Amino acid sequence: MYEYIKGILTYVSPAYVVVENQGMGYQIHSANPYRFSTKMNEEVLIYVYQAVREDDITLYGFKDLNEKKLYLKLLNVSGIGPKSALAILANEDHSGLVQAIEHNDANYLTKFPGVGKKTASQIVLDLKGKLGDLDVEWAQGTALTFDSEEGNVHITEALEALKVLGYSAREIKKVSGELEKIQHDTTDAYLREALKLMMKK
């Protein structure tokens, strides 16, 4: 099992990044790939989890060990798979997620893509009281961003990332108009704003 991969960041997409190590390019799926973009063509260290199925082997990546720990805890919940756990982590208010679990706030959890009332209740049942080993302060850290001159491109990329995370076309359409009213200069900033809007609906 891999703990992390250190290498040169060579590619960023709405769903994954590519890290080159000793001539091999590793495709690593991330909740928010754009936060790594300031490190393009530089060395990065990404914590990873390898999911193995009969017809697929996928690497999932995290910005630090705490995020990986939270991901692994979500995987222990009945009904939560690798992709749905990653989608839950896309909203980087991880402290809010932890608080919702500890305070039995299943309604908050249903706002995540793919999480219905039954799964939300299961998350609380399986994880309440079991998150004490996480350093919650890390959860509100500032994500990495990158610079560009074309704001509309960033909105398009952010909306594409929402699609990858499992949000429906109808849900995405509801927030797209709101994003047009906001001035940001990074895809990451637009994506974070879109996820906040999703959580309010």
DSSP secondary structure string for all residues of 111-171: TSTT--HHHHHHHHHHHTT--TTS-GGGGGPPPP----S-HHHHHHHHHHHHHHTT--HHH
The distance in angstroms from the start CA to the end CA of the chain is: 38
Amino acid 201: pLDDT: 63
Highest mean pLDDT among 121-125, 130-134, 141-145, 175-179: 121-125
> According to the model, what pLDDT value does residue 170 have?
83
Taking all residues of the chain, what is their mean pLDDT, rounded to a whole number?
A: 86
Rank 17-21, 32-36, 132-136, 152-156 by mean pLDDT and report only the highest: 17-21
- The tokens for 95 are 């402290």
Contacts of 131 (CB under 8 A, 6+ apart): 70, 73, 98, 101, 102
Residue 25: name the closest of 38, 34, 12, 14 by CA.
12
Handedness of CA 115, 120, 123, 126 (dihedral sign): negative
The whole-model pTM stands at 0.74
